Structure 1
Amino acid sequence: MDSRNAVNHEHVSIFTFLALIFVLRILLMIMRCITRGASPAIPPGPFPWPVIGNFLQVREDPHIKLSRMARTYGPIMSLRMGARLVVVGSSVKAAMEILKTHDRVLSGRHLSYTQPASCPKLNQYWIGFASECNDQWKHLRSICRAGLFSVKAIERQVEIRERNVVNMVKFLKEREGQLVNMSEVIYNLVFNTMYNILLSRDVIGFGPDGSGAGPELKELTKQFLNLIAATNVADLFPILHELDIQGMQKKVRKITEKIFAIWQDIVGERRDQRSKGVGAQEDFLDSLLEIGLSDNHINHLLLELLLAGTDTTTSTIIWALADLMKNKDATSKLRDELTVRIGNKTIHESELMDLPFLQACIKESLRLHPTIPFLLPRRAIQSSKVMDYIIPKGSQVIINTWAMACDPSIWDDPSRFIPERFLDSSLDFRGNDFEYVPFGGGRRMCPGLPMAARTVPYVVASLINSFNWFLPGYNDPSELNMNEMYLLILRKKQPLQLIPRVCKKMA
Structure 2
Amino acid sequence: MHTKGFTEYSMVWSLEPGVYWKNARRILQLEVLTPKLVEAQAHIRELKVTEMVDSLRERQGEVVRLRDAVRRTLFGVLVRLMFSSEVARNEMEDLLCTDTTTTTIEWAMAELIKNKPILENLRSELEREIGEDRVRESLLPHLHYLHACIKETQRLHPAVPLLVHEALQTCETMAYTIPKGCHVLVNVWAIGRDPETWEDPLTFFDGMQRK
> What band does the TM-score fall into relative to the shorter chain?
0.7 to 0.9
Alignment correspondent of 1:342:
130
Which residue, out of 53, 69, 91, partners 1:185? 69
Amino acid in the other structure paired with 1:341: E
> Structure 2: how far apart are the matches of 1:163 and 1:391?
47
Scaled by the length of structure 2, what TM-score is found? 0.87
Larger relative contact order (CA 8 Å, sep ≥ 6): 1
Structure 1 residue 198: Cα displacement: 1.0
1:412 is the counterpart of 2:199: yes
Structure 1 residue 341: Cα displacement: 1.2
Residue deviations 1:225-272 (CA, integer Å, cap 9, x gap): xxxxxxxxxxxxxxxxxxxxxxxxxxxxxxxxxxxxxxxxxxxxxxxx
1:333 is the counterpart of 2:124: no
Kindly, what percent of the aligned residue pairs are identical?
Answer: 38
Alignment correspondent of 1:162:
46
In structure 2, relative to structure 1, the CA distance for the partners of 1:338 and 1:113 (3 Å cut) is closer
Residue deviations 1:287-316 (CA, integer Å, cap 9, x gap): xxxxxxxxxxxxxxxx3xx22xx1111111
Q: How does 1:373-392 map to 2 (within 5 A)?
A: 373-375=161-163, 377-392=164-179
Q: Secondary structure at the match of 1:419?
A: coil
Amino acid in the other structure paired with 1:368: L
Structure 1 residue 130: Cα displacement: 6.3
Amino acid in the other structure paired with 1:114: G
Aligned-residue RMSD, C-alpha: 2.5
In structure 2, relative to structure 1, the CA distance for the partners of 1:115 and 1:182 (3 Å cut) is closer
Scaled by the length of structure 1, what TM-score is found? 0.38
> Structure 1: how far apart are the matches of 2:157 and 2:37?
28
Alignment correspondent of 2:5:
114
1:148 is the counterpart of 2:32: yes
Amino acid in the other structure paired with 1:366: Q
Residue deviations 1:407-441 (CA, integer Å, cap 9, x gap): 01111111111124467x5xxxxxxxxxxxxxxxx
Alignment correspondent of 1:360:
148
Q: Structure 1, unaligned stretches of length 5 or more?
A: 1-111, 118-125, 204-212, 222-302, 426-507
Q: How does 1:62-141 map to 2 (within 5 A)?
A: 114-115=5-6, 128=12, 129=14, 131-132=16-17, 140-141=24-25
Alignment correspondent of 2:109:
321
Q: Secondary structure at the match of 2:25?
A: helix
Q: Number of matched residues?
A: 207
Alignment correspondent of 2:78:
194
Amino acid in the other structure paired with 1:188: R
In structure 2, relative to structure 1, the CA distance for the partners of 1:137 and 1:420 (3 Å cut) is closer
Amino acid in the other structure paired with 1:417: F
Structure 1 residue 140: Cα displacement: 4.5
Amino acid in the other structure paired with 2:38: I
Structure 1 residue 157: Cα displacement: 1.8
Q: Secondary structure at the match of 1:180?
A: coil
Residue deviations 1:386-422 (CA, integer Å, cap 9, x gap): 2111122332201001001110111111111112446
